[in-house]
Structure 1
Amino acid sequence: MAATSRPKLLAGRKVLLLADFQFEDLELMYPKMRLEEEGAEVSVMGAHPAGIKYTGKYGYPVKSDLCVDNMSTTDAVASYDALLIPGGFAPDYMRRNQAMLDLTVAMADAGRVVASICHGPWMLCSARRTDGSPLAKGIRATCFSACKDDLINAGAQRWWTASSCRAGGPFITARTPADLTPFLHAIIDEMAK
């Protein structure tokens, strides 16, 4: 039986996927493959020179396409429809990089989808708007249980245990790799609008 083709829901859309060492393998690779399957162009961006190979917690490698220092936030907002932040230990490195924090703020303030899973919402706690408030302030969010206090202290609404995936405004958050299916459904649905 011949395979039938179906429309690519994200054809022509572009996603920036942040990476650093010790990312959660499934939380980077599954979204990358699933978004590409829907027709999106996914670019891996890190804090190190383009072409570097980042290794996940369980040894899966991913090569970066871009370095955050080589793209202005204006260009990123003009060129990309979404920003995806996987979990693992990588977000702890990412949130120490001001260019990555500035990129996260710019994408959110422009109304682009900002999706983060597991420890990824740490970026929403550390990224600050010009008034000094964290991106997490006032948003509905969920995360890995070890990060909940950071989200609460950053002013996020206390929804962290209520759902596997929370969406509100440009933000989509999820708890763990077990939540990847609803997480990706929410991202695809939002980007396809």
Structure 2
Amino acid sequence: MAKLFTPALRGTRVVIFVDFMFEDMEVMYPKIRLEEEGATVHIISSKPKGTKITGKYGYPVVTDYCIKDSAYTPADLFDEGIDALILPGGFAPDYMRREKAMLDVITECFSRDVPVAAICHGPWMLCSARSTDGSPVVSGRRATAFTAIKDDIINAGGIFVDEEVVVDGNLITSRTPQDLTPFIHAIITGIRQRQGDA
């Protein structure tokens, strides 16, 4: 019998940062879709490993790793391999942008050209994470986000574009859950391009 589907991302590793009150669909849909494509998806938070974290509408996820655990440092993420980082929206980014270890991972992703995909309020973290020169990682980059943080993107030096998905190098951004389909397509394409498969 012929194979009907060959996962495009078999052997890849994707990290999703979460905290309480994340936008449920912006975590659940990417997790399910990327796992369907063969990726291993890890949920990482500042909360202890095994913590059940619920989104705005009550959907739970369980943390695979704690970013603040001294036994598991941000460097470990890159030692084990990371092919993309996803920053969902909701209220969670307001907490996550205060976690230095999370911001350090974002900075390292940019320095290694690892795809960073942020949606809704997720791009807030791009205003807080710093490049090696000290400027926000979004500075000089085309990006979109939920309109409430448009000014934050601009004030951080970003070039705000009101489109369903905006790709600028390794940076992938979208506005709302309604944009999840093109957002996921851009993430899959970004991972495959980095692997030389697209």
TM-score interval (norm. to shorter): over 0.9
Contact between 2:93 and 2:125, CA under 8 Å: does it hold in 1? yes
Unaligned runs of 5+ in 1: none
Aligned to 1:125: 127
Q: CA deviation at 1:168?
A: 1.0
Distance 1:177 1:188 in 2: 17
Distance 2:169 2:77 in 1: 19
CA displacement 1:116-151 (0-9 Å, x = unmatched): 000000010000123220011011100000010000
Q: State whether structure 2 residue 182 is matched by structure 1 residue 179.
A: no
Aligned to 2:54: 55
Aligned to 1:38: 37
Contact between 1:140 and 1:156, CA under 8 Å: does it hold in 2? yes
Percent sequence identity over aligned pairs? 53
Moved over 2 A (4+): 2-5, 70-75
TM-score normalised by L of structure 2: 0.92
Distance 2:99 2:187 in 1: 25
Change in 2 beyond 3 A, CA 1:153/1:11 = same
Amino acid paired to 1:38: E
Aligned to 2:95: 93
Aligned to 1:13: 12
Q: CA deviation at 1:107?
A: 1.2
Distance 1:108 1:36 in 2: 24
Aligned to 1:188: 188
CA displacement 1:6-61 (0-9 Å, x = unmatched): 11000000001101000000000000000000000000000011100111000111
Contact between 1:77 and 1:110, CA under 8 Å: does it hold in 2? no
Q: CA deviation at 1:108?
A: 1.6
TM-score normalised by L of structure 1: 0.95
Q: Which SS does the other structure have where 1:129 is aligned?
A: coil
Contact between 2:107 and 2:137, CA under 8 Å: does it hold in 1? yes
